């Protein structure tokens, strides 16, 4: 009898146990190598740009070393939540296919400043010898998401092969102009070996980078 009671207690405990808690993604630090930085060792205030056209930015902190190594202290779920939106390349008008439910923050550039002085902008991307524009980005996803698909839009076709974790991810994208003058954009997970992050001081930063706003 005691053994039976023990088994019944174990079953009742298992049934009453709450489901496993999936904690929200925490803040994390990413390290980037920035070409063109010639300044000193500095603590930074950052504005992560996730919408070039509307100038939408997400505050963050960072530390840059004299060799151009930039440590980005990226915010966690609570601070990112108000900035989540559909990926810009997926919500363009006139594209075929349904939109996925993913909400994200796509960061392709960020403003650097000290507590008292704006320093310039860090952007990713440049053209290779074949004329392709290759860039990296940091993407915060509100859920784990896997997608392999193509999406046709006016003047451009997108090929996506993404495997995103919930939280911050590194992705890359490659844009090229085809003979018929339409564009082909490939978007994939992870950094691209040819992608670079570049520092532009205030004098160089005359216009938005040749980045996501033109995808």
pLDDT for res 24: 60
In degrees and rounded to multiples of 5, residue 63 shows phi and psi of -145, 125
Residue 9 falls inside a structural domain: no
Q: Could you identify the residue written with the tokens 């363009």? A: 92
Find out whether 60 and 49 touch, Cβ atoms under 8 Å. Answer: no
Domain contains 2? no
d(CA 214, CA 109): 14
Q: Is 155 left (phi over 0), alpha (psi -120 to 50) or beta?
A: left
Residue 44 lies in a domain: yes
- The fraction of the chain above a pLDDT of 70, given in percent, is 76
For the ranges 70-74, 83-87, 92-96, 163-167, the lowest mean pLDDT is seen at 92-96
Give a yes or no: residue 3 inside a domain. no
Tokens 């980045």 appear where?
211
Q: Is residue 164 part of a domain?
A: yes
The answer to the question of residue 185 being in a domain is yes
What is the sign, positive or negative, of the torsion defined by CA atoms of 204, 207, 211, 212? positive
Question: Strand runs (DSSP E) across the chain, as ranges?
Answer: 28-35, 42-51, 56-64, 69-74, 104-107, 109-113, 118-124, 126-127, 133-141, 145-153, 156-164, 167-177, 183-189, 197-201
- Looking at the predicted structure, is the pLDDT value of residue 208 above 70? no
In-domain check, residue 11: no
Predicted structure pTM score: 0.81
Q: What is the CA 81 to chain-centroid distance, rounded?
A: 14
How many domains are there within the chain?
A: 1
Say yes or no to pLDDT of 16 above 60. Answer: no
What is the pLDDT averaged over residues 22-38?
83
Q: Which domain holds residue 58?
A: 24-214
């Amino acid at each position: 009898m005691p053994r039976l009671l023990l088994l019944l207690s174990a079953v009742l405990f298992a049934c009453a146990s709450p489901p496993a808690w999936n904690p929200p993604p925490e803040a994390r630090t990413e390290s980037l190598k920035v070409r063109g930085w010639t300044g000193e060792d500095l603590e930074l205030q950052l504005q992560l740009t996730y919408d070039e056209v509307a100038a939408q930015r997400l505050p963050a902190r960072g530390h840059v070393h004299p060799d151009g190594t930039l440590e980005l202290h990226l915010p966690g779920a609570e601070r990112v939540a108000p900035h989540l939106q559909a990926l810009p390349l997926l919500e363009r008008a006139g594209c075929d296919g349904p939109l996925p439910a993913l909400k994200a923050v796509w960061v392709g550039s960020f403003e650097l400043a000290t507590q008292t002085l704006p320093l310039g902008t860090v952007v990713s991307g440049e053209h290779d010898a074949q004329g392709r524009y290759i860039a990296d980005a940091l993407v915060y996803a509100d859920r784990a998401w896997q997608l392999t698909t193509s999406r046709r839009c006016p003047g451009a076709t997108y090929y996506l092969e993404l495997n995103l974790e919930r939280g911050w991810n590194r992705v890359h994208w490659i844009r090229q102009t085809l003979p018929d003058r339409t564009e082909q954009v490939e978007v994939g997970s992870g950094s691209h070996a040819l992608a670079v992050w570049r520092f532009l001081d205030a004098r160089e930063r005359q216009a938005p980078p040749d980045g996501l706003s033109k995808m």
